[in-house]
Structure 1
């Protein structure tokens, strides 16, 4: 079982350490070119906000395995989901959740008091672990499947990757490992509040390998297994040093 991911532009790939089959076996992996087409499909159909002011959202699918491999026909992809219904649901801050036949999606949800704090889209899809929209989606197709989880921004350190926090997604990712089929976890941008942080240890909580693709043909094997550091290409760029003349 694989946990492979690709993203066009700034796409990050995660490989979980417990899945050890060869990535050269194309029958057991997500085709990176096809995955790029899938993410572009999400962005065209379901993206929140505008080009200048995009808003966070996350999507997960559970489709037949062949739809994540070569020669995907987008005309027959996710035909059971209505894009207008998806967008209306995830833009409703009071619920921010869509659950369909092969796709689930979430925006950000206001807390019970309607105050400033919002429940993150990753949390809405993945929790409670074992009885979440994600686990319900995975139960609909258990064999010969491909499950992809895409979040526009990387999971945040303070909430999603905080192992002792009540809104983390780590237990849910462990549950996902138990599902058969090929898997992909993708994010496009570094969460803006984390871009100046050292994310080595935080990203290690998700996966052992984080390949970073600059485009469809150029990826970096990010390592990260055990004591091996994650490759610098897969982390936010270090802050620029400035020379001040006295």
Structure 2
């Protein structure tokens, strides 16, 4: 069901740019696609699209099952990546993902985090970098059963380094299965073996 869930949001309501979303659903829907009432409503998804179509778009409502963000450009060279914007919190405010989990997540829930491009090595996965998301991802997903969580990307970020460097960086995401979902289906990219090659294809 992972591909169906991602496609339902991304193909119908996503934007043609780098963006990310996190969606909290019932386990029954994540397992077999029913009941459909477990999905975010059409109105909710339309509001998400409207927010993402704005410059520096952020969809962080007070209710509902989904949050989303685009990249925020701070100046000519600095930017907050969409993944970081959804996962970052400070002492005064919870992150959009933390707020989503607080209002929706229970023992019968699943959580899917989607980002259009793979998490980049130079910013998102850079050790000790100011916008590193590794600890935030691990913290957010740690309490959730492995069967009911996924971190999903659609394509490889084109500016990232050679595949092994990329794979080594990805493997610092310990508490969530990493998948690539595209026209060829969904593939588990968490492992380090010869079958990982389709995950690294830059097509």
- Shorter-chain TM-score range: 0.7 to 0.9
Kindly indicate whether the alpha-carbon contact (under 8 Å) linking 2:21 and 2:67 is maintained by their aligned counterparts in 1: yes
Aligned length: 192
Q: In structure 2, which of residues 178, 184, 199 is the aligned counterpart of residue 215 of structure 1?
A: 184
Q: Deviations over 1:187-231 (max 9, x none)?
A: 110001116443231111114875667834x8567633xxxx574
* Greater helix content: 2
User: Alpha carbons of 1:194 and 1:63: their partners in 2 closer, same or farther (altered >3 Å)?
Assistant: same
* 1:72 positional shift: 3.0
3-state SS, counterpart of residue 58 of structure 1: strand
- Corresponding residue for 1:134? 97
When normalised by structure 2's length, the TM-score is 0.80
> Is there any run of 5+ residues in structure 1 with no aligned partner, and where?
1-33, 50-54, 239-246
Q: In structure 1, which of residues 70, 77, 82 is the aligned counterpart of residue 39 of structure 2?
A: 77
* 1:45 positional shift: 2.8
* 1:84 positional shift: 3.0
Q: Deviations over 1:55-109 (max 9, x none)?
A: 1011101122112111335466211753332122123224x21023110000111
Q: Deviations over 1:104-124 (max 9, x none)?
A: 00011121xx43532110000
- Corresponding residue for 2:15? 48
User: Alpha carbons of 1:110 and 1:219: their partners in 2 closer, same or farther (altered >3 Å)?
Assistant: closer
Separation in structure 1 between the aligned mates of residue 101 and residue 73 of structure 2, nearest angstrom: 26
Bigger Rg over Cα: 1
Separation in structure 2 between the aligned mates of residue 142 and residue 135 of structure 1, nearest angstrom: 13
Please tell me the root mean square deviation across aligned C-alpha atoms, in Å. Answer: 2.9
3-state SS, counterpart of residue 28 of structure 2: helix
- Corresponding residue for 2:51? 89
When normalised by structure 1's length, the TM-score is 0.67
Q: In structure 2, which of residues 45, 52, 60 is the aligned counterpart of residue 99 of structure 1?
A: 60
